[in-house]
Amino acid sequence: MENEKDPLLNYEDALKAENAYLKFKLAFEHGMDTKEFVPLPPYLENSWLKSIYEFEQHFKNAKRVKVYDYIGRPSFRKADELKPEEFALERKRLEVILEHNNIQLDCLVEYDDALIYRFITEELFEHEMDDMRIPGMTLHYTYEEFHPNHDYDLRTETKDFVNAVFIREWNDAYDVLKLDRPVTFSGRDHEHEEVSAVFKVFQEAHESVTMERFDILDVSINEPESEARVTTLMLAFGQMRGGERVRYDGPGELIFRRTEDYWFLREFDMPGFRRQD
Protein backbone atom coordinates (compact mmCIF):
# COMPACT_ATOMS: atom_id res chain seq x y z
CA MET A 1 0.00 0.00 0.00
CA GLU A 2 1.34 3.39 -0.87
CA ASN A 3 2.01 5.77 1.99
CA GLU A 4 -0.60 8.47 2.32
CA LYS A 5 0.62 12.03 2.06
CA ASP A 6 1.41 13.83 5.29
CA PRO A 7 -1.74 15.86 6.21
CA LEU A 8 0.46 18.66 7.49
CA LEU A 9 2.05 18.99 4.07
CA ASN A 10 -1.39 19.02 2.47
CA TYR A 11 -2.42 21.78 4.86
CA GLU A 12 0.71 23.82 4.09
CA ASP A 13 0.17 23.42 0.35
CA ALA A 14 -3.41 24.63 0.77
CA LEU A 15 -2.20 27.66 2.72
CA LYS A 16 0.35 28.51 0.06
CA ALA A 17 -2.33 28.30 -2.62
CA GLU A 18 -4.69 30.52 -0.61
CA ASN A 19 -1.89 33.00 0.07
CA ALA A 20 -1.12 33.22 -3.64
CA TYR A 21 -4.81 33.90 -4.32
CA LEU A 22 -4.97 36.60 -1.61
CA LYS A 23 -1.90 38.28 -3.07
CA PHE A 24 -3.52 38.23 -6.48
CA LYS A 25 -6.67 39.85 -5.10
CA LEU A 26 -4.68 42.52 -3.26
CA ALA A 27 -2.75 43.33 -6.43
CA PHE A 28 -5.77 43.21 -8.77
CA GLU A 29 -8.39 44.89 -6.55
CA HIS A 30 -6.24 47.31 -4.56
CA GLY A 31 -3.15 47.84 -6.68
CA MET A 32 -0.70 46.56 -4.05
CA ASP A 33 2.81 45.42 -4.99
CA THR A 34 2.87 42.09 -3.16
CA LYS A 35 6.42 41.36 -4.35
CA GLU A 36 7.65 43.74 -1.65
CA PHE A 37 5.95 41.80 1.17
CA VAL A 38 8.29 40.35 3.78
CA PRO A 39 8.52 36.53 3.50
CA LEU A 40 6.71 34.73 6.34
CA PRO A 41 5.84 31.14 7.23
CA PRO A 42 2.65 30.14 5.35
CA TYR A 43 0.36 30.14 8.42
CA LEU A 44 1.57 33.59 9.56
CA GLU A 45 1.41 34.96 6.05
CA ASN A 46 -2.15 33.70 5.66
CA SER A 47 -3.35 35.48 8.78
CA TRP A 48 -1.49 38.67 7.81
CA LEU A 49 -2.82 38.69 4.24
CA LYS A 50 -6.39 38.14 5.45
CA SER A 51 -6.13 41.06 7.86
CA ILE A 52 -4.72 43.32 5.12
CA TYR A 53 -7.45 42.31 2.69
CA GLU A 54 -10.17 42.86 5.31
CA PHE A 55 -8.79 46.31 6.08
CA GLU A 56 -8.58 47.27 2.40
CA GLN A 57 -12.15 46.09 1.81
CA HIS A 58 -13.44 48.13 4.75
CA PHE A 59 -11.43 51.14 3.61
CA LYS A 60 -12.66 50.83 0.03
CA ASN A 61 -16.32 50.77 1.07
CA ALA A 62 -16.15 53.18 4.01
CA LYS A 63 -18.11 56.41 4.01
CA ARG A 64 -16.76 59.66 5.44
CA VAL A 65 -18.34 60.84 8.69
CA LYS A 66 -17.52 63.38 11.36
CA VAL A 67 -15.77 62.10 14.47
CA TYR A 68 -18.71 63.37 16.53
CA ASP A 69 -21.16 61.23 14.56
CA TYR A 70 -18.82 58.22 14.66
CA ILE A 71 -18.78 58.19 18.48
CA GLY A 72 -22.55 58.47 18.80
CA ARG A 73 -23.03 62.24 19.20
CA PRO A 74 -22.49 62.37 22.99
CA SER A 75 -23.77 65.34 24.97
CA PHE A 76 -21.26 68.03 25.92
CA ARG A 77 -21.19 71.67 26.91
CA LYS A 78 -19.46 74.38 24.97
CA ALA A 79 -16.13 75.49 26.39
CA ASP A 80 -17.49 78.95 27.20
CA GLU A 81 -20.14 77.36 29.45
CA LEU A 82 -17.64 75.55 31.70
CA LYS A 83 -16.02 76.84 34.86
CA PRO A 84 -12.20 76.57 35.04
CA GLU A 85 -12.38 73.73 37.56
CA GLU A 86 -14.68 71.67 35.31
CA PHE A 87 -12.41 71.31 32.29
CA ALA A 88 -10.25 68.45 33.60
CA LEU A 89 -13.19 66.16 34.37
CA GLU A 90 -15.07 67.00 31.16
CA ARG A 91 -11.96 66.49 29.06
CA LYS A 92 -11.44 63.07 30.65
CA ARG A 93 -15.08 62.13 30.05
CA LEU A 94 -14.84 62.88 26.34
CA GLU A 95 -11.49 61.12 26.01
CA VAL A 96 -13.02 57.99 27.58
CA ILE A 97 -15.88 58.11 25.06
CA LEU A 98 -13.34 58.43 22.24
CA GLU A 99 -11.36 55.47 23.58
CA HIS A 100 -14.51 53.34 23.83
CA ASN A 101 -14.88 53.96 20.10
CA ASN A 102 -11.23 53.03 19.44
CA ILE A 103 -10.05 56.60 18.95
CA GLN A 104 -7.02 57.83 20.87
CA LEU A 105 -6.04 61.48 21.22
CA ASP A 106 -2.32 61.91 21.87
CA CYS A 107 -0.41 65.04 22.91
CA LEU A 108 3.38 65.19 22.58
CA VAL A 109 3.57 67.67 25.47
CA GLU A 110 1.21 68.64 28.25
CA TYR A 111 -1.40 71.30 27.57
CA ASP A 112 -4.02 73.09 29.61
CA ASP A 113 -7.23 71.05 30.01
CA ALA A 114 -9.32 73.94 28.69
CA LEU A 115 -7.24 74.11 25.50
CA ILE A 116 -7.61 70.39 24.76
CA TYR A 117 -11.32 70.38 25.66
CA ARG A 118 -11.92 73.23 23.24
CA PHE A 119 -9.88 71.39 20.58
CA ILE A 120 -11.91 68.19 21.01
CA THR A 121 -15.31 69.86 20.88
CA GLU A 122 -14.61 72.52 18.26
CA GLU A 123 -12.11 70.83 15.93
CA LEU A 124 -11.73 67.09 16.43
CA PHE A 125 -15.49 66.49 16.57
CA GLU A 126 -15.82 68.28 13.21
CA HIS A 127 -12.97 66.32 11.60
CA GLU A 128 -14.05 63.76 8.98
CA MET A 129 -12.89 60.15 9.19
CA ASP A 130 -13.60 56.81 7.51
CA ASP A 131 -16.68 55.11 8.94
CA MET A 132 -15.07 51.72 9.51
CA ARG A 133 -14.58 49.58 12.60
CA ILE A 134 -12.04 46.77 12.65
CA PRO A 135 -11.61 44.74 15.87
CA GLY A 136 -8.32 45.52 17.58
CA MET A 137 -7.61 48.63 15.48
CA THR A 138 -7.30 52.01 17.22
CA LEU A 139 -7.22 55.27 15.29
CA HIS A 140 -4.73 57.75 16.70
CA TYR A 141 -4.99 61.52 16.38
CA THR A 142 -2.20 63.77 17.61
CA TYR A 143 -2.96 67.31 18.71
CA GLU A 144 0.24 68.57 17.09
CA GLU A 145 -0.92 67.30 13.69
CA PHE A 146 -3.56 70.02 13.85
CA HIS A 147 -1.48 72.60 15.74
CA PRO A 148 2.28 72.06 15.24
CA ASN A 149 4.40 72.68 18.31
CA HIS A 150 7.49 74.26 16.75
CA ASP A 151 9.29 74.60 20.07
CA TYR A 152 8.93 70.86 20.70
CA ASP A 153 9.97 69.98 17.14
CA LEU A 154 13.07 72.17 17.26
CA ARG A 155 14.18 70.79 20.62
CA THR A 156 13.69 67.25 19.31
CA GLU A 157 15.60 67.93 16.08
CA THR A 158 18.43 69.56 18.04
CA LYS A 159 18.80 66.58 20.39
CA ASP A 160 18.66 64.12 17.50
CA PHE A 161 21.37 66.00 15.63
CA VAL A 162 23.70 66.21 18.63
CA ASN A 163 23.18 62.50 19.36
CA ALA A 164 23.90 61.64 15.70
CA VAL A 165 27.20 63.54 15.82
CA PHE A 166 28.51 62.79 19.31
CA ILE A 167 26.76 59.68 20.65
CA ARG A 168 25.66 57.25 17.94
CA GLU A 169 26.97 56.45 14.45
CA TRP A 170 26.08 58.99 11.77
CA ASN A 171 23.63 57.50 9.26
CA ASP A 172 24.16 58.66 5.66
CA ALA A 173 20.73 57.58 4.48
CA TYR A 174 18.68 59.00 7.35
CA ASP A 175 20.45 61.86 9.12
CA VAL A 176 21.13 63.93 6.01
CA LEU A 177 17.37 64.11 5.36
CA LYS A 178 17.15 66.54 8.29
CA LEU A 179 19.76 68.89 6.86
CA ASP A 180 19.24 71.89 4.64
CA ARG A 181 21.31 72.14 1.48
CA PRO A 182 23.94 73.39 1.93
CA VAL A 183 24.82 73.35 5.65
CA THR A 184 27.13 75.99 7.09
CA PHE A 185 29.69 75.24 9.81
CA SER A 186 33.38 75.85 10.47
CA GLY A 187 33.13 79.03 8.44
CA ARG A 188 31.88 77.65 5.11
CA ASP A 189 29.08 75.80 3.31
CA HIS A 190 29.05 72.00 2.98
CA GLU A 191 27.01 69.69 0.75
CA HIS A 192 25.46 66.57 2.26
CA GLU A 193 28.18 64.22 1.07
CA GLU A 194 30.87 66.40 2.64
CA VAL A 195 28.90 66.72 5.87
CA SER A 196 28.68 62.94 6.20
CA ALA A 197 32.39 62.58 5.45
CA VAL A 198 33.33 65.17 8.11
CA PHE A 199 31.18 63.54 10.78
CA LYS A 200 32.47 60.07 9.98
CA VAL A 201 36.08 61.23 10.24
CA PHE A 202 35.24 62.86 13.57
CA GLN A 203 33.63 59.69 14.90
CA GLU A 204 36.31 57.35 13.61
CA ALA A 205 38.96 59.44 15.40
CA HIS A 206 37.32 58.68 18.76
CA GLU A 207 37.18 55.47 20.73
CA SER A 208 34.19 56.94 22.55
CA VAL A 209 32.48 60.20 23.45
CA THR A 210 30.69 60.73 26.76
CA MET A 211 28.14 63.53 26.98
CA GLU A 212 28.25 64.84 30.54
CA ARG A 213 25.82 67.70 29.97
CA PHE A 214 23.67 69.03 27.18
CA ASP A 215 21.18 71.83 27.74
CA ILE A 216 18.94 73.73 25.36
CA LEU A 217 19.02 77.27 26.70
CA ASP A 218 16.65 79.00 24.31
CA VAL A 219 14.51 78.45 21.23
CA SER A 220 13.78 81.59 19.23
CA ILE A 221 11.34 81.38 16.31
CA ASN A 222 10.95 84.31 13.94
CA GLU A 223 7.81 85.35 12.12
CA PRO A 224 6.27 83.89 10.04
CA GLU A 225 7.82 80.77 11.60
CA SER A 226 10.21 80.15 8.75
CA GLU A 227 13.51 80.38 10.63
CA ALA A 228 14.56 79.51 14.17
CA ARG A 229 17.64 79.78 16.36
CA VAL A 230 18.46 77.28 19.11
CA THR A 231 21.16 78.04 21.68
CA THR A 232 22.76 75.22 23.64
CA LEU A 233 25.40 74.45 26.24
CA MET A 234 27.33 71.20 26.30
CA LEU A 235 30.11 69.38 28.07
CA ALA A 236 31.48 66.17 26.57
CA PHE A 237 34.68 64.18 26.86
CA GLY A 238 36.19 62.21 24.00
CA GLN A 239 38.67 59.37 24.14
CA MET A 240 40.80 59.54 20.99
CA ARG A 241 42.07 56.36 19.37
CA GLY A 242 45.61 57.63 19.90
CA GLY A 243 45.01 57.75 23.67
CA GLU A 244 44.48 61.48 24.07
CA ARG A 245 41.49 62.67 26.08
CA VAL A 246 39.74 65.77 24.72
CA ARG A 247 37.10 68.09 26.13
CA TYR A 248 34.21 69.60 24.16
CA ASP A 249 32.85 72.37 26.30
CA GLY A 250 30.90 75.55 25.65
CA PRO A 251 27.90 77.18 24.04
CA GLY A 252 26.44 76.23 20.69
CA GLU A 253 24.02 77.67 18.19
CA LEU A 254 21.89 75.94 15.56
CA ILE A 255 19.86 77.72 12.89
CA PHE A 256 16.91 75.93 11.28
CA ARG A 257 14.86 76.77 8.22
CA ARG A 258 11.26 75.64 7.85
CA THR A 259 10.06 74.28 4.52
CA GLU A 260 6.73 72.53 3.92
CA ASP A 261 6.06 72.04 7.65
CA TYR A 262 9.50 70.55 8.37
CA TRP A 263 12.51 72.11 10.08
CA PHE A 264 15.89 71.60 8.37
CA LEU A 265 19.23 72.42 9.96
CA ARG A 266 20.78 75.30 8.00
CA GLU A 267 23.78 76.28 10.10
CA PHE A 268 25.46 75.29 13.37
CA ASP A 269 28.34 76.31 15.57
CA MET A 270 29.32 73.83 18.30
CA PRO A 271 32.36 72.67 20.24
CA GLY A 272 34.43 70.44 18.01
CA PHE A 273 33.15 72.05 14.80
CA ARG A 274 34.27 75.66 15.02
CA ARG A 275 36.74 77.32 12.72
CA GLN A 276 39.40 77.30 15.45
CA ASP A 277 38.72 73.73 16.66
**Of the candidate ranges 28-37, 78-87, 147-156, 225-234, the one whose mean pLDDT is the lowest:** 28-37
Query: Distance between CA 273 and CA 48 in Å, rounded?
Result: 49
CA distance 34 to 81: 53
- Which stretch of 95-104, 218-227, 233-242, 243-252 has the lowest confidence by average pLDDT? 218-227
Q: What pLDDT, on a 0 to 100 scale, did the predictor assign at position 1?
A: 42
**pTM (global) more than 0.85:** no
Q: What is the pLDDT of residue 187?
A: 85
Q: Out of 59-63, 121-125, 148-152, 183-187, pick the least confident.
A: 59-63
For 17-72, the pLDDT digits (tens) are: 888 877 887 787 777 777 778 788 887 888 878 877 777 766 666 688 999 999 99
Question: β-pairing, 139-142 with 103-106?
Answer: parallel
Q: Which of 41, 60, 48 is nearest to 22 (CA)?
A: 48
Of the candidates 128, 91, 131, which has an alpha carbon nearest to the alpha carbon of residue 111? 91
CA dist., res. 209 & res. 211, Å (int): 7
pLDDT in tens, 179-216: 999 999 988 999 999 999 999 999 999 999 999 999 99
Average pLDDT over residues 174-180: 94
Helix (H) or strand (E) holding 87: helix 87-100
263/9: higher pLDDT: 263
Better pLDDT: 143 or 6? 143
- pLDDT(2) > 70: no
